[in-house]
Amino acid sequence: MKVVHHPLLYVVSALVLVVSSGCGDPSYESAGLADKEGAPNSDPTDPTWPEKVPDGPIDFKTQVRPLLIINCLECHNREDAPRNGNFILETRALALSTGTTPPAIIPGDPDKSPLITVMTLDPLHQRAMPPAPDKIWGVRLEILRRWILEGAVWPEDVTLVHPREITGW
């Protein structure tokens, strides 16, 4: 039997390896098991992987801030914004005034907020954010949608920082 080495086979194999490894995200290394939503099993108190949408109003500092930092600030900070649509997500004022189509957040209307629009695009879409395979979906997306629906309350004294600067939540 002759073995055929097709270049596409190598690309597909590499892609499977990258996706199955979680692209280096240590949260994917926990026993390789996922919950019913497909999220990696994690510490139930991990604010970056909430298990359910909280009852009552969404709290920016404890429920939204961790999601935005982990999923958005690596690219959408002052230093890297010129290469990423000029969108800076460090403060509420910048989130409402920067980027190619400001405001990215329309308080009270998640369906018209470009922030939510790009998160709900097909993962392979050129403008999809965060880029595949790091999509925001399920509980995390619903928390962000509800936060915007509730008025996108973001305390003026809270500035988001690059994930590498986080030492605790």
46 class by beta-carbon count within 10 Å (0-12 exposed, 13-18 middle, 19+ buried): middle
Q: Which residue has the higher pLDDT, 145 or 35?
A: 145
* Residue 49 to residues 1, 35, 38, Cα–Cα distance (Å): 48, 11, 11
State residue 94's pLDDT score: 97
Flag whether 17 is in a domain. Answer: no
Residue 43: the pLDDT is: 56
* 72 domain-assigned: yes
13 assigned to some structural domain: no
pLDDT digits (tens, 9 = 90+) for 83-108: 999 999 999 999 999 998 899 999 99
Is the pLDDT score of 116 beyond 70? yes
The pLDDT tens digits for 18-67 are 333 343 333 333 233 344 444 554 455 788 888 899 999 999 999 999 99
Within-domain flag for 46: yes
Region for residue 94 given its phi and psi (left: phi exceeds 0; alpha: psi -120 to 50; beta: otherwise) = alpha
Residue 65 lies in a domain: yes
Residue 76 lies in a domain: yes
Ranking 73-77, 109-113, 132-136, 142-146 by mean pLDDT, the lowest is 132-136
Is there a domain that residue 157 lies in? yes
Closest-CA residue to 72 (of 11, 125, 131): 131
Q: At what angle do helices 65-72 and 138-149 cross, to 10 degrees?
A: 120
Q: Is residue 7 part of a domain?
A: no
Containing domain of residue 62, as a range? 42-165
Tell me if residue 34 falls in helix, strand or coil. Answer: strand
| pLDDT value at residue 59 | 96
Domain count, the chain: 1
